[in-house]
Amino acid sequence: RRTRLPPTVHDAAAHLGLAETESSLGFLDRAASHYEATLKTWGDQPGIWLDYADALSRARRDSQALDSAQQALMLAETAATRSAQARILWRLNRRDEAFNSQAQAEHLDPGRIDFILQRGLWSLEAGDLANAETAAAAALKLAPNDPLGLWLRGSVGLRRGKTEEARRDLERAAAQHGSPFVAAAAGEILKQLR
């Protein structure tokens, strides 16, 4: 005999399934509508708020995405939520807040190489070579052959005029076939160095 759930739970579950499907297919506005309907019943679920924030952010509705991420944070502070908040803040050009939120994500989950690299990439974009280099070193300490870490350290090296060191890092990054985008980006830089 099946347990019968109240209609609102069935509705929320159906809307959540539709939200996830629409989001995965790239129909972000429709996904957002379904997340909104889901949250009317399950508004106490930080993971749903975070998924809603992701859909909004991918739709470039960053102010709303930030509100949703902050709602998720009020329910439960996690490294993933802090990092999502940081990415949204970065797109809103609130860089100091983005770096702060990313640092909090790293503090909550210090072994996450993707968090370290995110900080490094933003530092490179902001022209803070010292922090970009520190992040690359920390990432490569965790994973010596990480292609993005090698690309980051190579990019910092080029900006500092250390062409031969940078070339070695970029050659190693270009040889990492498991990350074709990073390998291709490193390969393009190497072509320009010839």
What is the chain's pLDDT, residue by residue, as a tens digit (194 residues)? 555 555 566 788 898 999 999 999 999 999 999 999 999 999 999 999 999 999 999 999 999 999 999 999 999 999 999 999 999 999 999 999 999 999 999 999 988 999 999 999 999 999 999 999 999 999 999 999 999 999 999 999 999 999 999 999 999 999 988 899 999 999 999 999 88
pTM of the model: 0.83
pLDDT at position 73 = 95
pLDDT at position 12 = 86
pLDDT at position 9 = 65
For residues 171 and 179, the answer to whether their CB atoms sit within 8 Å is no
The Cα–Cα gap between 100 and 75 comes to 20
- Among candidates 173, 135, 133, which has minimal Cα distance to 151? 173
pLDDT at position 193 = 87
pLDDT at position 133 = 97
pLDDT at position 169 = 97
pLDDT at position 15 = 87
Give CA angle at 116 (177, 166), nearest 5°. Answer: 55
